[in-house]
Amino acid sequence: MGMENFERIRNEDFYYIDKTGLIKNLLENKSYVTLFTRPRRFGKTLMMSMLKYFFEIGSDSTLFDGLEIAKERRLCEEYWESFRLYPLV
């Protein structure tokens, strides 16, 4: 049906509508629970894959080069240095 793997989309140059700005909202507006609601076939699985690659230890930070979240360099470096120990490249 569709591509649901963020890493594959970025590495194989598939068309991608950038939703990484949502990461900034998640990091700045901390809450105990975050509910992601979208209609069926609106990219929930792809969004979860994108979040996985951002938050998972050992993920390749270069996947986010050129995307909205990469403009938030301080936020990314602060998060990755605190939790992942991988600086934004």
Over pLDDT 90: what percentage of the chain?
35
Residue range 42-70: average pLDDT? 89
Q: Select the highest-mean-pLDDT range: 23-32, 34-43, 46-55, 73-82.
A: 46-55
How far apart CA 45 and CA 56 sit, in angstroms, is: 16
Joined tokens for residue 45: 């699985």
The amino acid occupying position 71 is: K
How far apart CA 66 and CA 40 sit, in angstroms, is: 28
Residue for token pair 């301080």? 74
Over pLDDT 70: what percentage of the chain?
91
What per-residue confidence (pLDDT) applies to 3?
80
For the chain, the distance separating the N- and C-terminal CA atoms, rounded to the nearest angstrom, is 33
